[in-house]
Structure formats: C-alpha cells, structure tokens
C-alpha cells in the first residue's frame, strides 16, 4: 500500500477523526461525549480504566495504517519494527486487556458484554499471533495476522459509523446498542477474510 492510495488515506483520515473524538470524549478523564445516562455512570465508576483503554486504542488506530506502507517496510525496516512493537504492546496489549475488563461492565447487558469481550479477546489473540509469526520470520503470515488485527482495531471507527446510522433511523439508543457490540467488528473481520481469500485465489490462478 502506498501513502497516496485511496485505501491508506481512507484508513488514516477516519482513524484520525475518530481518535480526535475519542481523546476529546474520553481520553482526558472527563466524560464529554453525549451518551446514555447509564453509560455516564459506568464511566464515572471506571474512569481510569476507560481513559486508559481510549488512549491505547487511539495509539493502535493511528499507528496501524503506517504499518501497511510498503515504502516504510522497505526503506525504514527498523522504524517499521519498533512502530509494530509499540502498536502491539501498548496499543493492542494494554488496550485489549483494558477492553476485556470493561466488557464485564458494558452497557446493554449480556449481549453487549459477550460481543465486546470477544472483540477484545480476538484483538489480543491476533496480536499475539502476529508477533509470534514475525519472531519466526514468517513475514507473509505476519502480514495476514496484522490485517486481521487491524480489522478489529478499526472497530473503533465502524462503531461510530453505525451509531450515526442508527441514530438517524430513529431507533432508541438502548434498542440498538447491544447489536453494535457485534456489528462494529464481525463485518470487518469477514471483509478481511474475503479479501485474503480473493488474493489466495488470484495467486493460485497465476
């Protein structure tokens, strides 16, 4: 992927926009985003953990697109490597563990809790697999696991897209929010698997 490609620019711009909103709404330790009153109570009860999760997730969201730049990997391998470690340890590692803990108190009950817990668990699992594969110098497998991992990272963007769509539809927040715990990441992962399958089939034909 090149820095001028539409895919990279779309990922980066959307990541920056959502990251700015997340830091403004949650990253300072003060709840500023307009949400359901029950979610404000959850924030106040878990202020430090939510702030930590928001900050580390933003790191992963913003750093991630740069790891797919071919030029960075080719010309600055050491920078690519250290950004990758930063992404996986601070962004995914701390962000994932804090997300897993927060899933226990997620607004929306069991449906939301299980959805967000699976998201956090798979985020950590794919991150570990990406790290292990690069340690084994299997760079192609590392790229595949990183694509899966960033698809889960990008849930931070897609959940806000769905929020806007559902609000525009006129549904009440409590009616649609549990579905967001699944919609924000399952389609992302399906899309990446479809993309990888298409690439595999293309290589097989060639």
What is the pLDDT at residue 201? 65
**Alpha-carbon distances of 20 from 28, 40, 55, 61, 157, rounded to whole Å:** 11, 19, 10, 11, 11
Q: pLDDT value at position 29?
A: 63
Nearest one of 9, 25, 160, 154 to 91, comparing CA atoms: 154
Angle at 122 between CA 116 and CA 16, to 5 degrees: 70
- Structure tokens belonging to residue 69: 């730049």
Query: Going from the N-terminus, what domains does the chain have, and what CATH number goes with each?
Result: 6-205 (1.20.120)
- Quote the tokens at residue 30: 């003060």
What DSSP character marks residue 4?
A: T
Residues 6+ apart with CB under 8 A from 181: 106, 108, 111, 112, 113, 114, 115, 116, 119
CA 42 – CA 192 distance, rounded (Å):
33
pTM of the model: 0.89
Query: Is the CB of residue 123 less than 8 Å from the CB of residue 91?
Result: no
**Tokens 């009860």, located at residue:** 45
Q: E strand or H helix at 87, and its extent? A: none
| Contact status, residue 188 vs residue 151, Cβ threshold 8 Å | yes
Supply 148's token pair: 């899966």
User: Tens place of pLDDT for every residue, the chain, 206 residues?
Assistant: 766 778 878 888 888 888 887 777 666 666 666 666 777 787 777 888 888 898 999 999 999 988 888 777 778 888 888 999 999 999 999 999 999 999 988 888 899 999 999 999 999 999 999 999 999 999 999 999 999 999 999 999 999 899 889 888 888 888 898 999 999 999 999 999 998 887 766 665 55
> Of 61, 124, 117, whose CA–CA distance to 89 is shortest?
124
CA distances (Å), 153 to each of 18, 64, 96, in order?
Answer: 12, 8, 10
Per-residue model confidence (pLDDT) at position 103: 92
- How far is the C-alpha of 124 from the C-alpha of 81, rounded, in Å? 18
């Amino acid at each position: 992927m090149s820095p001028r490609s539409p895919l990279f620019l779309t990922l980066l711009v959307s990541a920056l926009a959502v990251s700015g909103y997340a830091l403004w709404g949650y990253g300072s330790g003060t709840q500023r985003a307009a949400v359901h009153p029950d979610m404000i109570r959850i924030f106040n009860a878990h202020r430090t953990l939510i702030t930590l999760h928001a900050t580390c997730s933003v790191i992963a969201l913003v750093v991630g697109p740069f790891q797919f730049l071919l030029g960075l990997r080719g010309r600055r391998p050491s920078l690519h490597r250290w950004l990758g470690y930063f992404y996986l340890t601070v962004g995914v590692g701390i962000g994932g563990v804090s997300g897993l803990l927060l899933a226990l108190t997620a607004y929306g009950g069991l449906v939301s809790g299980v959805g967000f817990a699976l998201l956090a668990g798979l985020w950590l699992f794919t991150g570990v697999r990406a790290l292990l594969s690069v340690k084994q110098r299997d760079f192609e497998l590392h790229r595949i696991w990183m694509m899966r991992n960033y698809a889960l990272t990008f849930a931070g963007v897609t959940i806000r897209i769905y929020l806007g769509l559902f609000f525009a539809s006129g549904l009440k927040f409590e009616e649609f929010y549990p579905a967001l715990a699944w919609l924000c990441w399952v389609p992302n992962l399906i899309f990446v698997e479809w993309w990888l399958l298409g690439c595999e089939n293309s290589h097989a034909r060639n």
